[in-house]
Chain A
Amino acid sequence: MQDSQDQVRFEMLVLPHLDAAYNLARWILRSGPDAEDVAQEAMLRSYRFFHSFQGGDVRAWLLQIVRNTCYTHLEKNRRMKDMTEFDEELHGPPSPTPEALAIAGDDRARLTHALESLSPRYREVIVLRELEGCSYKEIATVISIPVGTVMSTLSRARRQLQLALNPSCEEANREL
């Protein structure tokens, strides 16, 4: 009967974070259909490993699995070039340009476009902090870095996002 009790606990504790799982996968992978595949795999994986969950922050625990599954997926699909840290500044924003979108007045498209132009490592911290509202401690758990480095990672990620939104932005340029 262990299984059905695990299932009940899983449905109570983990399933409420399904949106968070899907949202993170959607933004790391930049694709809805891919995100469903990967989030499904991650949910099954977390279900399988659920007995090893020792309590604590279940959302961070799940998102860590989601993130790892996303990166495995990206690697499999040879999208490694997106992940090289030093490469992100070479990424020119693909058309349409942010200015064109700004003129069109579509803030959502403009922000989506800017966020998707960042490297996944920067994109994920923005999503975790700004969309998911994670604390630094949770972010550290999800992306497996020391808590002390979350602040500097976020500061770089936000600067990149500000630049992507407004390439002529004095404020952000000055510090590069």
Chain B
Amino acid sequence: MSCDRVGISLHGYFDEELDAIDASEFERHLERCTDCVSALEALESLSSSINAARLYEKATPAFRKKILADIGSAPPVAVFPPRGVWHWLAVAAALILLAYNGWRVVSSNRTSDYESAFASEILDAHLRSLQPGHLTDVVSTDQHTVKPWFDGKLDFSPPVKDFVDQGFSLQGGRIDIVHGRTVAALVYGRRKHFVNVFIWATDEKDAAPCSGSQRSYQWIEWRKGGMEFCAVSDAAPSALEQLQRLFTD
């Protein structure tokens, strides 16, 4: 006989879309329902094989160029001001605005290029860590073992916390190089996913989290207390948001 929850709420739980009450109720249910446990495992293996198969199809550079050309050639609205002083003033204003917009396009492209290069590098560091034997330099689920390990290896002291009760179990830590600087990496297990939390020192002031995704991996980044944090994983975006809250609370 099969459990009727296998049908639906299992998916909400798997996708981390249940609210806290429903999720904990479902977890209690999982303890005594083998049907749901095996269905959950089947979902996890489905999801990870989709991930591993890299089914995401990106737009080709040629196609991107075509779209940019389309946007650029969309007909602007022509406005002819009356001749005279106003005419020249309007021309001058138009030129200033045009230059301003041109600058904004260039600078915004630069920002997004920088962001995507940064995200790529973080993601590469994450993928590198998943190679056999690369995940952790210090293997311990004990925060009091992991934290002292970083002493003397970094010029700052990263916060090392275990969130096993909230579903993120500390697996260990390591030193990594991202964007040319030495960073601390904390590794957490989230069900069958690994989460890398990269931490480095910064002079910039605290910033609210911003997130993104690349190649079906998610990242979330924030600054707090002179440190910059970036968590990366193929777990659900909501899981990373939860971890971010655990770190900042």
Contact = CB atoms under 8 A, between A and B. Distances in A.
Interface of A: 1-5, 7-8, 10-12, 15-16, 18-19, 21-23, 26-27, 32, 35-36, 39-40, 43-44, 47, 107-108, 110-112, 115, 126, 129-133, 135-136, 151-152, 154-155, 158, 161-162, 165, 171-172, 174-175
B50 A151 contact: no
A107 B76 CA distance: 48
B19 to A, nearest CB: 12
Interface stretch (B58-66, B131-139, B151-159, B178-186): B58-66
A18 B64 contact: yes
Interface string B4-20: 00111111100101000
A36 B46 CA distance: 28
Contact of B12 (A4, A110, A151): A151
A1 B8 contact: no
Contacts of A130: 47, 50-51, 216
A12 B66 CA distance: 17
B87 to A, nearest CB: 16
B50 A22 contact: no
Given A11-B105, A108-B55, A151-B11, A22 B63 contact: yes
Nearest to B116: A16
A87 B47 CA distance: 25
Given A107-B52, A151-B17, A174 B8 contact: no
Contacts of B237: 133, 135
A40 B213 CA distance: 23
20 contacts: A3-B77, A4-B76, A11-B68, A19-B58, A21-B59, A22-B59, A36-B63, A39-B63, A108-B54, A108-B55, A129-B15, A135-B238, A136-B17, A151-B8, A151-B11, A151-B15, A152-B7, A154-B15, A171-B38, A171-B42
B218 interface: yes
Contacts of B10: 155
A156 to B, nearest CB: 9
A162 B55 contact: no
Interface stretch (B94-102, B122-130, B140-148, B163-171): B94-102
Interface of B: 2, 6-12, 15, 17, 38-39, 42-43, 46-47, 49-59, 63-64, 66-68, 70-72, 74, 76-77, 94, 97-98, 101, 104-105, 108, 112, 213, 216, 218, 236-238
A18 B67 contact: yes
Nearest to A109: B53
Interface of A is mostly: helix
A25 B189 CA distance: 34
B39 A111 contact: no
A23 B57 contact: yes
Contacts of B72: 7
Contacts of B58: 19, 22-23
A10 B71 contact: yes
A110 to B, nearest CB: 8
Contacts of A35: 57
Question: What 4 pairs across the A-B complex have the smallest Cβ distances?
Answer: A22-B59, A108-B53, A26-B57, A111-B53
A3 B233 CA distance: 39
A33 B2 CA distance: 44
A2 B77 CA distance: 9
B71 to A, nearest CB: 6
A51 to B, nearest CB: 12
Contacts of A43: 67, 70-71
B26 to A, nearest CB: 12
A8 B108 contact: yes
Contacts of A1: 94, 97
B8 to A, nearest CB: 5
Contacts of B8: 151-152, 155
Given A47-B74, A108-B55, A131-B56, A162 B42 contact: yes
